[in-house]
Amino acid sequence: MRAAIIYTSKHGTTAKVAQMIAGRLTGSQVSIIDLKKVKCPDLNSFDGIVLGTSIYAGTSSKTMQRFCKDNIAVLTQKRLALFICGMEPDTSKRQQELTNAYPQALHQHAVSTCFAGGEFQFEKMNFFERAIIKRIAKTDKSVSDINSDNIDRFVQEINK
């Protein structure tokens, strides 16, 4: 099986998670595609597709939203899995973020979905982002909270 992990990432966490997923997928030749660099990847060459986006202010990236909209017909023909990266602490809000991140048709078609956790990387944030996170998360320390267990479960479902 040929698989693609297609993602958008602002500060690199979703890229990191894409690499983690790639390392755990079995029996697949995996391409990792950054939508910032490859605007229109040729989806015909893949049997399975994993989509990943980070969440800012409750929403997925505009680039990923546009990509899903433009390719919905093809994506619903593939073995599909969806994940998000975020630092929302509340479990039901995490689920809401995941639900809102991708079109309903993709959720219905997906074999697995995942809240993969995230990171605050203060050194990569701009002034405004730093101020927002300091106020909301009440910290100015970089922290990594990538959820390896969730990622394992996610990949197990894909590997079935």
Ligand X SMILES: Cc1cc2nc3c(=O)[nH]c(=O)nc-3n(C[C@H](O)[C@H](O)[C@H](O)COP(=O)(O)O)c2cc1C
Nearer to ligand X, 11 or 109 (CB): 11
Q: Which is nearer to ligand X, 82 or 97 (CB)?
A: 97
Q: How many Cβ atoms from other residues are within 10 Å of residue 122's Cβ?
A: 16
**Closest CB to ligand X among 37 and 160?**
37
The least CB distance from residue 54 to ligand X, in Å, is 3
Measured at CB, which residue is nearest to ligand X? 86
CB of 118 to ligand X, least distance (A): 3
CB of 124 to ligand X, least distance (A): 7
Q: How many CA atoms, within 13 angstroms, populate the side-chain half-sphere of residue 133? A: 21
| Nearer to ligand X among residue 105 and residue 131 (C-beta) | 131
Query: Which residues contribute to the site for ligand X (CB under 6 A)?
Result: 9-14, 54-58, 85-88, 97, 118-120, 125, 129, 132-133
31 near 69, Cβ under 8 Å? Answer: no
Dump strand ranges (E) for the chain.
Answer: 2-8, 29-34, 48-54, 79-85, 112-115, 117-120, 143-146
CB of 101 to ligand X, least distance (A): 10
79: left (phi over 0), alpha (psi -120 to 50) or beta: beta
- Between 80 and 85, CB nearer to ligand X: 85
- DSSP code, position 123: G
Q: How far is the CB of 83 from ligand X (least distance, A)?
A: 11
How does DSSP assign 38-77, residue by residue?
-SS--GGG-SEEEEEEE-BTTB--HHHHHHHHHTHHHHTT
